[in-house]
Structure 1
Amino acid sequence: MPYDATLVGQSTEPIRHEVDARWIMSYAAGLNDCNPAYLGTDRAKVVAHPLFPVCLEWPTILSSRHMPGYDTLTPAEAARSVHAAHDLHILRPIAEGETLTTQATVTGMEAIKPGVAVTTRLDTRSAEGELVARTWQLGIARGVALNGTGRASEPPPPRPSLPSPWRQPQRLPIPVAANAAHVYTECARIWNPIHTDRRVALEAGLPDIILHGTATLALAVSRLVDEFLDGEPGRVRRIGGHFRAMVLMPSTIVLEVLGQSADILFFQVLTASGEPAISQGFLSYGGA
């Protein structure tokens, strides 16, 4: 059945989250990231990993599937939707003890060769209404038609591009354990069976369970923070990239830092076979 273009402009109800130190520490531990900023409860407050907003966004993404226009899809069609690109803007770090709300708004739909491209804006706000993080997420519903004219109610911000790559990229290997997806699922509270249930993954046409795209991105961000930002995650302002090849487990992925322009690092992540798992990656940052 076709996707309905009347989804554009619709928003979910805000979903409330209580962010405690345990959740922040669990997310970092799920990435094997022992940065004291995430784990040091002897400090005034622990702060969340820069990619932690994906934990808050997941329930809202699930909620968006109940909006009028989405319900035209069959369960099988909905299961073929993939997370294609991510662009997270961090207004300030998230700290323990905060009450936050996250809301999704569909801002664009377009018929493309594989199916329908859907752009969603995800806003996370403080209890006082302050915008804390905003993500522009691109999803592709494969093998689905679009009912109505494709349109955008709000264009996503332009992405930075690398003006001049380094002659020799910096390569940083990252081991991915056999149970990485299971651990990430529980620590992030992002439950999607293709990452943990082999039967479901095989029925979906996958070769095996696969690592979450956001886990792959978060592993890369952890290394970038350690190697280039002196271990200070509060300096991260924006993270983006396109999700490509699947990451199987166990394996070793490779973070390739391709270049740097002012306050932006450009990178890609390669699978064990050398295919890009994340392409057009970038991380912008501020001062200490």
Structure 2
Amino acid sequence: MPIDIRAVGKRADPFRRTWDSTDALLYALGVGAGQEDASRELQFTTENTAGVEQQVVPSFAIPVVQTGLGKILTFGDYPRGSLVHAEQSLTVHRPLTPAGSVTVSARIASIADKGSGALVRMETEAVDTTTGEPVVSTRLGYFIRGEGGFGGQHGDPSGGTPWSEPLGDPHESIVVPTRPDQALLYRLSGDRNPLHSDPAAAGAAGFPRPILHGLATYGIATRVLTNRLLDGDPARFGSISARFTRPVFPGDTLVVRVWRTEESVVFRVLNDAGAIVLDRGRLTGHFLDRHPPQS
């Protein structure tokens, strides 16, 4: 059976996800924390540094609530290799604690025919298992290549996060190297797809070598922007969204280009060759400087 549009509105039974301090530390390393200077970002990479309280990179919430979601919320039969992560948004209602538990509700919000494939959007809401207090919300889009042709958009007609093309040169560009073993580190946070570790699997998918997880690039951008614009303080973080446009290879050097506005920050991430790998990026939060720098 191809993409099943009757899956729109389908809800998963609420499920519980837990994590501990080690999970949060491992994720931080997987998205590059401490990579350039091990004495920095200690709030994300250690739990026992004098005078430093452990905190959690905000995007850690994504593997917590989304790992395995496609197996929980099925929407038809298609070749596994045809699915790619197309877009992702995260809203944090309160910072994650280094250890905790949330109860997650998830649904298929929409399925749209994009001609060359289908765009399936899912939403999750996670609340503290003990108190019921909202913790995070996510929205993700999967693009399934070759599965279009069924016509129209079914379900929630709203698209992704609103976006305006940035004007002029970026206010700043942040250079971020990645490690050759970055994907091997990141996969330990839950995504064991061999595309990111097995040369044979990568070759079968048309890549010369394993690629970095899109959500690792997304997490790197989240960490870098939290450090640069929010003083490394997850309590200042609001939301982040972006589209995945092309793969990154472990060892690539990334450049995060940032445009500040009165209300938010928009950003793009580029690879070594200057190609955009994350587009339509938007960050909200309590910024140290809410006004764009003077040109």
The TM-score with structure 1 as length reference comes to 0.88
Correspondence 1:99 to 2:105: no
Quick check: 2:117–2:143 contact (8 Å CA) kept in 1?
A: yes
| CA shift in 2, pair 1:55/1:231, >3 Å | same
Q: 2:163, 2:90 → 1: CA distance?
A: 13
Structure 2 letter corresponding to 1:252: T
37, 44, 52: which one aligns with 2:43? 37
CA contact (8 A) 1:3 1:146 kept: no
Q: What's the offset of the Cα at 1:106?
A: 0.3
CA distance in 1, matches of 2:169, 2:252: 27
Q: Percent identity?
A: 24
Q: Please name the residue that 2:138 is paired with.
A: 135
Pairing 1:261-272 to 2, within 5 Å after superposition: 261-272=261-272
Please report how far the alpha carbon of residue 287 of structure 1 lies from its aligned counterpart in structure 2 after TM superposition.
5.7
Deviation at 1:53, TM superposition (A): 1.3
In 2, the alpha carbon distance for the partners of 1:227 and 1:5 equals 42
Q: Which residue of the other structure, out of 109, 121, 125, is the alignment partner of 1:123?
A: 125
1:260 corresponds to: 260
Is residue 253 of structure 2 the alignment partner of residue 249 of structure 1?
no
Question: 3-state SS of the aligned residue for 1:282?
Answer: strand
- Counterpart secondary structure, 1:210: coil
8 Å CA contact 2:44, 2:54 repeated in 1: yes
Cα shift at 1:82: 0.8
Question: Which blocks of at least 5 consecutive residues in structure 2 are unaligned?
Answer: 35-40, 289-295
Equivalents in 1 of 2:179, 2:251: separation in Å?
5
2:186 corresponding residue in structure 1: 184
CA contact (8 A) 1:60 1:104 kept: no
Q: Deviations along 1:110-167, whole A, 9 cap, x unmatched?
A: 11122111111022221133221111111111001465763114735642435x6353
User: Are 2:286 and 1:286 equivalent residues in the alignment?
Assistant: yes
Contact 2:115 2:149 in 1 (8 A): no
Structure-2 residue corresponding to 1:24: 24
1:150/1:156 Cα in 2 relative to 1: closer, same or farther (>3 Å)? closer
Corresponding residue number in structure 2 for 1:88: 90
Q: List aligned pairs for 1:192-211, cutoff 5 A.
A: 192-211=193-212
Shift of 1:176: 1.3
Alignment match, 2:77: 73
Paired residue type of 2:142: G
Residues 225 and 275 of structure 1: CA distance in aligned 2, closer, same or farther (over 3 Å): same
Helix, strand or coil at the partner of 1:41: coil
What number of residue pairs does the alignment pair up?
279
